[in-house]
């Protein structure tokens, strides 16, 4: 008999080695290399990510016909927004999130809405029996003869069912439970996830069937399995939110058919997920007026401006080293902005603890929120509240200057729509557009100027 060849594959990053090592050279994690059998590739057509490359010829880009991708829309407008306008035929999308956050509920609702449009939908669950799926469907009020449920984990059987039923939409829940018989490793391993996703990609591209696959996440919140998984699919969506809160955020981090970093907000009800059409009102409805350390910023989430409250609490420290904690923003941004306030404004923050929070459970990562954070810190330190009708927008440089931000017009229009009276923004953003009626836009050049305007009595 021929000797079986084995290799060691990292279960976090997919690094392959001929021998076992305690520490993976690819991701520097310990005890992640697992022994697997090598799979011999078949001769003939060479494929990459499930797309056949043999027989293709170079074409002039000017001779290639460009046409708009046909899309299928659902009744959830927020879901359509994150996908760029709807579901594209032949696309492969990956959705990840914490356990119990509502991934299966969302996809079952979407499947029901497509089935109500007389489209055959195949919902494949590798974690639940058909009776368990039926119980969730009864809770959501789903009844359709075009929605088919299958409990299967063998990829070969799944492929046969897809070829026989020829559905218009397929859901795989989840990719970590699907396996190929010719691969000896356990379901959920790097080899299984990679090969199963590659086969699903081939099915989607050759048959034109859009496929949604659910992916488990690690303790750090990233989708489990090799990073190659996110490169192979057409769209990557993250379903976020606190399990103890009713609001859920569907965030797109990759989309080959639309803009990235789009965000859709849903509210979890007993009868399922309900979309929130105006998230700014939700995030600001419990804001207390007259409290120090509270400011409002207009942040861009994809193409949508969202008004969010940023809260800061500055208190004397009881330790040798003051604490710096942040929720909803990068924790490294807090000491940076506090250093700017100490150097350029003269605030003595060295002996104070700082706690920064973005209200509502939203995560903000754009530079335009710097000014709002700096004003919140100063407001709490001086115990001097800001005006409840003010909004602060701007990026703060290390020399204390306020730098230009993008899409200032959309931000100001959203603020005017919700009744705010003043917007403090960079001076360089005031040219080239018309200010909406009913709102005053004040341009500032430095953090000191912004504080003098925003914290004036």
Residue pLDDT, tens place only, 358-377: 988 788 989 999 999 999 99
Q: Does 428 share its domain with 295? A: yes
What string of DSSP letters covers 244-294?
Answer: TSSEEEEEEEEETTS-SS-EEEEEEETTEEEE-S-HHHHHHTTPPTT-TTE
Helices vs strands, H then E, count in the chain: 11, 25
Residue 355 lies in a domain: yes
Residue 42, in any domain of the structure? no
Final residue belonging to a domain, choices 260, 277, 294: 277
Closest CA to 253 of 262, 242, 244: 262
Residue 97, annotated ligand binder?
yes
Q: What does the pLDDT look like over 224-279, one tens digit per residue?
A: 666 678 888 999 999 987 666 788 889 888 999 888 878 888 988 888 899 988 88
Q: Decide if 59 is inside a domain.
A: no
Of 229, 259, 277, the residue at which a domain comes to its end is: 277
Instruction: Identify the pLDDT of residue 243.
Output: 63
Residue 100 assigned ligand-binding role: yes
| DSSP three-state, residue 186 | coil
| Residue 424 in tokens | 């403090």
Q: Which residues of the chain have pLDDT under 50?
A: 1-2, 41-53
- Give CA–CA dist 17/34, Å, rounded: 10
- How far is the CA of 193 from the CAs of 27, 189, 190, 215, in angstroms? 18, 6, 5, 10
CA 300 – CA 393 distance, rounded (Å): 11
Q: 264: annotated binding-site residue?
A: no
Contact 74, 86 (CB under 8 A): yes
List pLDDT tens digits, range 36-46. 776 554 444 44
Residues 422 and 384 placed together within one structural domain of the fold: yes
Mean pLDDT of the chain: 88
Whether 112 maps to a domain, the answer reads yes
Residue 25 is assigned to a ligand binding site: no
pLDDT recorded at residue 226: 63
| Count of the separate structural domains present in the chain | 3
Residues 290 and 251 in one domain: no
Strand order in the sheet with 440-444: 390-392, 422-426, 440-444
Residue 409 structural domain: 282-454
335 and 267 together in one domain? no
Residue 295: CATH number of its domain: 3.30.230.10
Q: Is 99 annotated as a binding residue?
A: yes
In a domain, 339, yes or no: yes
Last residue of a domain, one of 226, 250, 277: 277
Residues 290 and 368 in one domain: yes
Is pTM beyond 0.85? Reply is: no
98 is in an annotated binding site: yes
**Do 247 and 310 fall within a single domain?**
no
Residues 362 and 303 in one domain: yes
pLDDT, residue 39, reads 59
Both 225 and 160 in a single domain? yes
Q: Is 101 annotated as a binding-site member?
A: yes
- For residue 1, the model assigns a pLDDT of 45
Instruction: Tell me whether residue 310 is annotated as binding.
Output: no
Do 84 and 204 share a structural domain? Answer: yes
The CATH number of the domain where 157 resides is what? 3.40.50.300
Are 228 and 273 part of one and the same domain? Answer: yes
* 320 within domain boundaries: yes
Residues 358 and 232 in one domain: no
Q: Is residue 57 part of a domain?
A: no
> Pairing mode, if any, of strands 211-215 and 169-173?
parallel
Do 308 and 344 belong together in one domain?
yes
The predicted pLDDT at position 44 comes to 43
Residue 63 covered by a domain: no
8 A C-beta contact, residue 447 and residue 402: yes
**Using an 8 Å Cβ cutoff, are 286 and 277 in contact?**
no
């Amino acid at each position: 008999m021929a000797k079986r060849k084995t290799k060691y594959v990292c279960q976090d990053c997919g690094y392959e080695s001929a021998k076992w090592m305690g520490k993976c050279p690819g991701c520097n994690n310990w005890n992640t290399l697992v022994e697997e059998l090598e799979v011999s590739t078949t001769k003939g057509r060479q494929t990459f990510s499930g797309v056949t490359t043999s027989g293709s010829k170079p074409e002039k880009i000017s001779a290639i016909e460009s046409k708009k991708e046909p899309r299928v829309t659902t009744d959830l407008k927020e879901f359509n927004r994150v996908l760029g306008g709807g579901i594209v035929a032949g696309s492969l999308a990956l959705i990840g999130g914490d356990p119990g956050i509502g991934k299966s509920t969302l996809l079952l609702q979407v499947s029901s809405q497509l089935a109500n449009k007389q489209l055959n939908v195949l919902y494949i669950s590798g974690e639940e029996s058909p009776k368990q799926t039926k119980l969730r469907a009864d809770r959501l009020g789903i009844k359709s003869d075009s929605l088919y449920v299958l409990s299967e984990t063998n990829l070969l059987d799944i492929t046969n069912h897809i070829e026989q039923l020829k559905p218009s939409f397929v859901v795989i829940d989840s990719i970590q439970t699907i396996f190929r018989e010719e691969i000896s490793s356990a379901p959920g391993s790097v080899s299984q996830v990679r090969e199963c996703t590659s086969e699903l990609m081939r099915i989607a591209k050759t048959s034109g069937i859009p496929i949604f696959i659910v992916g488990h996440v690690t303790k750090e919140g990233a989708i489990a399995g090799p990073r190659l998984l996110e490169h192979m699919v057409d769209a990557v969506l993250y379903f976020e939110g606190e399990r103890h809160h009713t609001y859920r955020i569907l965030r797109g981090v990759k989309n080959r058919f639309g803009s990235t970093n789009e965000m859709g907000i849903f509210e979890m009800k007993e009868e399922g997920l309900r979309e929130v059409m105006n998230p700014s009102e939700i995030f600001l409805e419990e804001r207390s007026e007259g409290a120090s350390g509270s400011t409002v910023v207009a942040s861009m989430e994809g193409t949508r401006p969202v008004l969010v409250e940023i809260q800061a609490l500055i208190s004397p420290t009881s330790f040798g080293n003051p604490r710096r904690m942040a929720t909803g923003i990068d924790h490294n941004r807090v000491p940076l902005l506090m250093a700017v306030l100490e150097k350029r404004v003269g605030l003595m923050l060295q002996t104070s603890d700082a706690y920064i929070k973005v209200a509502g459970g939203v995560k903000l990562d754009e530079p335009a929120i710097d000014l709002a954070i700096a004003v919140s810190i100063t407001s709490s330190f001086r115990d001097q509240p800001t005006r409840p009708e003010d909004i602060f927008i701007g990026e703060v440089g290390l020399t204390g200057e306020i730098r230009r931000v993008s899409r200032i017009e959309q931000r100001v229009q959203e603020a005017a729509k919700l009744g705010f009276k003043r917007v403090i923004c960079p001076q360089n953003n005031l040219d080239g557009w018309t200010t909406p009626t009913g709102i005053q836009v004040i341009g500032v050049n430095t953090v000191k100027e912004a504080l003098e305007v925003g914290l004036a009595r």
